[in-house]
């Protein structure tokens, strides 16, 4: 039995010439018979016929044969379609092994880059940047941070520089340094911001927030944080981190392409990477601070006390969230710090009461 269809408007393209050929269409014996008006009748097995997907409009359909990559049949009579059973069946994907190999290579290339080559290069090159270069890098970053933290969006966050307060900081740095002279390597700034935090930047910039001084329970805790940040400066962690970011940000931008602007994913991932980096560096800086404090005759447990008050302020972050914060779990660090306290030693306060008072008022012009 043979079924006939409307061939009006239908056209066959043989895959060689762009000339449409008029056709008559029948289905018989499981074959779509395509009768060319000026030529032979072609027979396409109905189960091997596929329909081109995502065609715009309802004006027609395009059919192809799985065994012929180029021949096309353009139809306007949709009644044919119900007789073709596998119109949307997909061909088994070709070259899966090749795809998997390149996928693996891409993942490996990125992993080697971010996890090994870039850190290696950054760590080695960080030592070769001349001090002026590091300072320029630090100044640029410091400026950006001051602008980013400002709520009004007009002026950069002010630096606190009451003379008595800065003199107190200078004396503290000298005392922490002892025989080693930190004065040339380290520049300390206090920013007028309520955040309980401190950080180091390339070029020996150490930045304390006013919030940290306010939250500190006595001068030793500030001294401990300062010693910790000096530890970062001495091992040039900030410079490495800056170089490392420069390399890895470009790569991550490459990976995520223009997908949703990429920025959000980028930021999140970069944060993850730097957090992993920082955990080792934080531990090193903690150890450095313990040694420095003990050597200057200041109670190294003060670092733990500072962390304890930070924890009281913000709570501890553990689990998933901890991974995204740059600091390892505070509890571990508090314990580590208290463990190095020598019960027999006689520690002295890091500052005189006058100096401590001056530091507490460093952001307060009325006090002096």
| Cβ closest to another protein, residue 157 vs residue 249 | 249
| Cβ closest to another protein, residue 142 vs residue 288 | 142
Shortest Cβ 161–another protein spacing (Å): 22
In the numeric block, which tokens belong to residue 23? Answer: 């056709």
**DSSP code for 91:** P
| d(C-alpha 50, C-alpha 60), whole Å | 14
Asked whether the beta carbons of 173 and 184 are under 8 A apart, the reply is: no
Shortest Cβ 320–another protein spacing (Å): 6
| Cβ closest to another protein, residue 249 vs residue 357 | 249
**Phi/psi of residue 33, nearest 5 degrees:** -95, 115
Asked whether the beta carbons of 189 and 159 are under 8 A apart, the reply is: yes
Residue 222: its H or E element: helix 219-234
Closest listed residue to residue 287, CA positions, set 336, 240, 236, 331 = 336
Strand order in the sheet with 31-36: 2-5, 23-28, 31-36, 41-45
Shortest Cβ 236–another protein spacing (Å): 13
Shortest Cβ 84–another protein spacing (Å): 19
| Cβ closest to another protein, residue 228 vs residue 244 | 244
Shortest Cβ 237–another protein spacing (Å): 16
| d(C-alpha 317, C-alpha 72), whole Å | 62
Shortest Cβ 198–another protein spacing (Å): 22
| Cβ closest to another protein, residue 143 vs residue 365 | 143
Closest listed residue to residue 239, CA positions, set 331, 141, 114 = 141
What's the chain's Rg over C-alpha atoms? 35
| Cβ closest to another protein, residue 122 vs residue 336 | 122
Shortest Cβ 116–another protein spacing (Å): 11
Q: Is 246 exposed, middle or buried, given 0-12, 13-18 or 19+ CB atoms closer than 10 A?
A: exposed
| Cβ closest to another protein, residue 265 vs residue 275 | 265
DSSP state string for 259-283: GGGSHHHHHHHHHHHHHHHHHHHHH
Shortest Cβ 326–another protein spacing (Å): 15
| Cβ closest to another protein, residue 89 vs residue 180 | 89
Q: Is 139 exposed, middle or buried, given 0-12, 13-18 or 19+ CB atoms closer than 10 A?
A: middle
């Amino acid at each position: 039995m043979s079924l006939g269809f409307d061939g009006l408007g239908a056209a066959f393209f043989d895959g060689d010439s762009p000339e449409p050929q008029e056709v008559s269409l029948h289905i018989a014996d499981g074959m779509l018979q395509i009768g060319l008006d000026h030529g032979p009748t072609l027979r396409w097995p109905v189960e091997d016929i596929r329909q081109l997907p995502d065609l715009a409009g309802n004006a027609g359909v395009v059919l192809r044969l799985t065994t012929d990559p180029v021949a096309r049949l353009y139809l306007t009579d949709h009644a044919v379609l119900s007789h073709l059973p596998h119109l949307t069946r997909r061909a088994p994907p070709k070259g899966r092994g090749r795809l998997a190999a390149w996928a693996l290579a891409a993942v490996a290339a990125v992993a080697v880059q971010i996890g090994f080559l870039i850190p290696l290069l950054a760590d080695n090159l960080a030592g070769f940047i001349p001090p002026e270069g590091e300072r320029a890098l630090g100044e640029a970053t410091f400026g950006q941070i001051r602008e980013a933290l400002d709520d009004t969006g007009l002026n950069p966050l002010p630096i606190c520089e009451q003379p008595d307060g800065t003199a107190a900081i200078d004396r503290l740095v000298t005392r922490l340094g002892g025989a080693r002279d930190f004065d040339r390597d380290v520049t300390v700034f206090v920013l007028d911001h309520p955040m309980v935090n401190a950080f180091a930047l390339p070029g020996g910039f150490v930045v304390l927030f006013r919030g940290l001084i306010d939250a500190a329970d006595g001068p030793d805790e500030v001294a401990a944080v300062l010693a910790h940040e000096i530890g970062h400066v001495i091992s040039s962690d900030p410079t490495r981190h800056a170089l490392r970011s420069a390399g890895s940000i470009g790569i991550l931008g490459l990976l995520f392409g223009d997908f949703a602007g990429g920025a959000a994913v980028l930021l999140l991932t970069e944060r993850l990477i730097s957090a992993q980096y920082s955990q080792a560096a934080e531990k090193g800086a903690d150890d450095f601070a313990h040694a420095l404090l003990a050597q200057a005759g200041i109670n190294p447990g003060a670092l733990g006390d500072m962390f304890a008050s930070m924890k009281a302020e913000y709570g501890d972050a553990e689990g998933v969230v901890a991974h995204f914060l740059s600091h390892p779990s505070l509890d571990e660090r508090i314990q580590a710090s208290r463990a190095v306290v020598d019960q027999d030693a006689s520690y002295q306060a890091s500052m005189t009461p006058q100096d401590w008072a001056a530091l507490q008022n460093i952001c307060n012009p009325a006090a002096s």
